[in-house]
Amino acid sequence: MYDWDFKWVWTYREQLFDAFLVTLELNFFILVVGTFAGIFIGLASKSNSKLLRVSARIYSDIFRTLPVLVLLVWFFFCVPLLLGGIRISSYHSAIIVLSLNLSAFIAEIVRAGINAVPKTYVEDALATGLSKWQVNRIILLPIAIRLMIPPLVGQYINTIKLSVLASVIAVPELLHRTTDIISQVYRPFEFYTVLALLFLILLLPGTLLSRRLENKAEHMKLEGERS
């Protein structure tokens, strides 16, 4: 029978804490960069310019289709060759690739949120004499943003879970550091248990928030149908 001994986890607590900070920092940059890029691509997909619309759709389709792990490995090993030997660190490679993946999904969320706003709202607002800019700022975007928030939170949670793939290119985040420690002390059950608990602590608040937002959105939808 396996003899559980968590004193090893305590012995390596500083390394695990440092890795946890790397995970937090990595995901912070991914979420920020991916969100801003995704909003831009999403708005471009609703542009009057056919070139922007087509370009945004191609971008979104490519980076939603490519497996993150494949793209991560390809970018880290192949892009430096295409750039004439210029090296990109594993940390920055992970930020770039995961931000590209996140931005593609956020672009679709933005596009769907805008499309979900009833056209009659916009038409009625224009009929009152408001300009198109005023209608977008006062009517369209506030409603669309409320519709976007629940799927955005869900996508952020998914991206944080995907960030463990950065361990494949040796980013010193939680999974990579945990695996290194296990290779030294041969205590996989204790360390993987703690790893799971750390991600549970990191992701559970967002999961509960996502469920609450979805329930609220469903309640608002039912209230609107009754009225």
User: Inter-axis angle of helices 90-116 and 68-82, to 10 degrees?
Assistant: 120
Answer for the pair 189, 4: CB distance below 8 angstroms, yes or no.
yes
Q: Inform me whether the pLDDT recorded for 189 exceeds 70.
A: yes
One-letter identity of residue 214: E
Please report the DSSP string for 51-62 in residue order. HHHHHHHHHHHH
- At 34 the pLDDT is 97
Q: Distance (Å, rounded) from C-alpha 85 to C-alpha 82?
A: 7
pLDDT tens-place string over residues 31-52: 999 999 999 999 999 888 999 9
Q: Does domain 12-226 have CATH number 1.10.3720.10?
A: yes
Specify the residue for token string 């979420």: 31
Stretch 144-165: mean pLDDT: 92
Q: What rounded mean pLDDT belongs to the chain?
A: 90
- At 46 the pLDDT is 87
Instruction: Flag the least confident range among 102-106, 114-118, 133-137, 146-150.
Output: 133-137
Burial of 104 (0-12, 13-18, 19+ CB in 10 A): buried
pLDDT tens-place string over residues 126-153: 888 888 778 878 888 888 888 888 899 9
Report the percentage of the chain scoring pLDDT > 90: 66
pLDDT band of residue 125 (cuts 50, 70, 90) is confident
Q: Distance (Å, rounded) from C-alpha 141 to C-alpha 25?
A: 30
Q: What are the residue boundaries of the structural domains of the chain, listed by start?
A: 12-226
Joined tokens for residue 162:
């995907």
